[in-house]
Structure 1
């Protein structure tokens, strides 16, 4: 496909969706539910196709695909279908005394034509999850899947073409030039998932058209492990959260802050849990069918460079470190003796390297986190409610979990998203519906006498007294 043809196709689709979005303003809950049910039916009848497509891109185990790609989407669909009707209902608000005689409510209207730019690490989940919110809100959508997962991108394109008319939902595959052309269009909302660096590019492009954005970014999400903790339980949860999908998860624990008196015991427990999960038959983790691979050569090289930089500057690989380039295999790795001078503590790792730092008291850990950009997620492992609450109050993050990690993504009743460097806006469930909706303020005024008419000019004695009373009493 030539660039010229591709650009023309994008332009035509965008224009048709722009027209369609106007008629969707009056769409009913039943109509939106039918679209979601069609999507749900296709997914249920093509489970094996989805699994094969994602596995072909980076050998993600089927159980991981089912749990982290398919289930997340189908649960989002079910949640939306159950709640769309109530989400769409206008929300009445109270009337202050100076506005006596009027009635006010918030009306939820579709933003209109939307763009979803999806990443490669969870290529199905992070493309179709936002689509569910867009359809629930009554929007049209163009999806730009990642070029780094071509099998999944092709499957998404096939699914969308078989389920929806292009004036409602369309997919455009391709590399940077496709994304750039899409970003030049005056969409009504852009939903982007990716790195903070690319998020800035998206936001700058959106600013040209004053387009609202939801930016699901990343950053370095810390896990604080307090000495008052069940070490075996914490180690199990950390190992799963860090190494699922070969560490290529935006909310994976990026590094650990461990109270120094339990460091060695925790490392031993982590080593045992890694073996239990990925090498129970003692054949080597590289032979495990339960451990995914790095997505491509470029990212494997980036991971190698992070490890080499860290070890050259004094870090010790106390667990793992094996790399098989022919398979894009990178063993679960744990580093100690790390410092902020190392790239592994400056960049988001986005892979199976887990640095461990120590602290002496909670205040020290809090200060370390607060000196860094605000993370997408913060994890606290402690049996002390006082310690957990202190950390929650004195730090800022997009989301937080106490005594677990990653699982908050599955809670549809919670808003998911970052803050500042880790993102803008929230997603999932009702919060995803709101992201793709305009909360329109509507005030209905009575005909005839209303209190505010007393403030019309000319400003006589009564008018002045009323305005002064507003300042004094209201």
Structure 2
């Protein structure tokens, strides 16, 4: 057993410590703000160390991608929490209606207690610290289980958080899937899980034992629809960013593209141009991230082998030495043209730099293709015609949408981030996350004199009042 890992049997003691401390001293506004400020300062000062740890876990990951996706996003979210926290904590007045005058009512956001966070490997700091910071903002204590597939980053997170929080406020536990399963089945007050749909089902089943409320951030096949009016050079540039950032290892990356048939080949050419502009001939490829581990690498190669065996066109947009590719777990941006629906890469979330480009006869057919699948985590529509965009939005239910770009809805603090159905449950980011990790406590304040004092037998004495109440 890895010496940094703990046994699942240690969880009850850790949870007891966190819960006992929370019950003894529920965090005030001042403490929450101070915690967030110290977390921000600590992360900001150690961004180079963070990027090095992530790169070591991936074999190679673009430093700039780590700074953007795992640094900037977290700092931005903490800033948003700090800027709005006082207002979010205020009770909200709720009207009671004339029948209950002169009582008044409010909802008051109160902390839940201990929130669990199980984070994945693809954005190992972002997807750990954003839900953690949100839980802290909402006044909770946190137990974080980072991914075992990024051990150096997990060690970085453990050291970072130990420097900011006392052990009875935030605990980091390292371990494998057995520990994650045990945490899922623990008596938490809320659990945030980010990962695959298949594992999400297991997490939900385990959490059901204690009826633990869940935020499930899962995945699926997020489509991009390029309408016939949209400029292909611009579509290619934005698709290239969304698909090949982090080598496609992004839960909201465009998983496949639907485009009108007459422009399909031209889009492929435009994508190849963008790859050359961004990564050159891949002799260096310092800005291009590698596949996280051998299992994921072989899974992706299997998708391509299956497509080739079936005679499906596979177009690699760059060429690298095969031995180097194996050594570095490097898969160059690759297009698969019109793959049949029964191929594995059209049945499963790709989560890599492989992009199916599928021709459609008209927009209605593209929408029908999306509707025939599970509801996606993300949807991308490219059109300068509002009517075409609304045609898609009016028929497809997705976790989130970016129009005429990719990925960016994730980064908008005011937009809830979450899936629907197989792509997830619940949402976080900004106010949505604060509310999800709080109990909106409903409170009715009764007045010294109240009409309800009259609502008692014998009812014959208040017949007129009753007629007025039910009119």
Q: 2:378 matched to which residue of 1?
A: 377
Secondary structure of 1:330's counterpart equals coil
* Structure 2 gaps, min length 5: none
Secondary structure of 1:116's counterpart equals strand
The whole-number CA distance in structure 2 between the counterparts of 1:462 and 1:309 is 79
1:36-75 alignment, distance < 5 Å = 36-58=36-58, 59-75=60-76
The whole-number CA distance in structure 2 between the counterparts of 1:260 and 1:467 is 69
Deviations 1:111-161 (A, max 9, x none): 111110000000011011101100000000010000001110111111111
The whole-number CA distance in structure 1 between the counterparts of 2:145 and 2:136 is 16
Q: 1:218 matched to which residue of 2?
A: 219
Secondary structure of 1:85's counterpart equals helix
User: 2:7–2:175: 8 Å Cα contact kept in structure 1?
Assistant: no
Secondary structure of 2:7's counterpart equals helix
User: 2:272–2:317: 8 Å Cα contact kept in structure 1?
Assistant: no
Q: 1:456 matched to which residue of 2?
A: 456
State the TM-score, normalized to the length of structure 2. 0.95
User: 1:321–1:330: 8 Å Cα contact kept in structure 2?
Assistant: no
User: 1:286–1:329: 8 Å Cα contact kept in structure 2?
Assistant: no
Deviations 1:421-457 (A, max 9, x none): 111111111111111111111111112331x445434
Secondary structure of 1:460's counterpart equals helix
User: 2:338–2:359: 8 Å Cα contact kept in structure 1?
Assistant: no
1:302 aligns with 2:299: yes
The whole-number CA distance in structure 2 between the counterparts of 1:307 and 1:321 is 15
Q: 1:311 matched to which residue of 2?
A: 308
Q: Give how far 1:10 is off.
A: 2.5
* Structure 1 gaps, min length 5: none
Q: Give how far 1:103 is off.
A: 0.6
State the TM-score, normalized to the length of structure 1. 0.94
The whole-number CA distance in structure 2 between the counterparts of 1:383 and 1:298 is 41
Q: 2:331 matched to which residue of 1?
A: 330
Q: 1:403 matched to which residue of 2?
A: 404
Aligned residues: 465
Q: Give how far 1:24 is off.
A: 4.4
1:171 aligns with 2:168: no
CA 1:405–1:321 in 2, change beyond 3 Å: closer, same or farther?
A: same
Deviations 1:169-215 (A, max 9, x none): 01111101211222232000000000111111111111100110000
1:254 aligns with 2:255: yes
The whole-number CA distance in structure 2 between the counterparts of 1:191 and 1:223 is 27
User: 1:427–1:435: 8 Å Cα contact kept in structure 2?
Assistant: yes
Q: Give how far 1:227 is off.
A: 0.8
Q: 2:139 matched to which residue of 1?
A: 138
Deviations 1:273-319 (A, max 9, x none): 1111111xxxx225310100000000000001111112222321133
The whole-number CA distance in structure 2 between the counterparts of 1:342 and 1:467 is 67
Q: Give how far 1:357 is off.
A: 1.0
Q: Give how far 1:163 is off.
A: 1.4
User: 2:8–2:178: 8 Å Cα contact kept in structure 1?
Assistant: no
Deviations 1:213-242 (A, max 9, x none): 000111000000001102111100000100
Secondary structure of 2:144's counterpart equals strand
User: 1:227–1:261: 8 Å Cα contact kept in structure 2?
Assistant: no
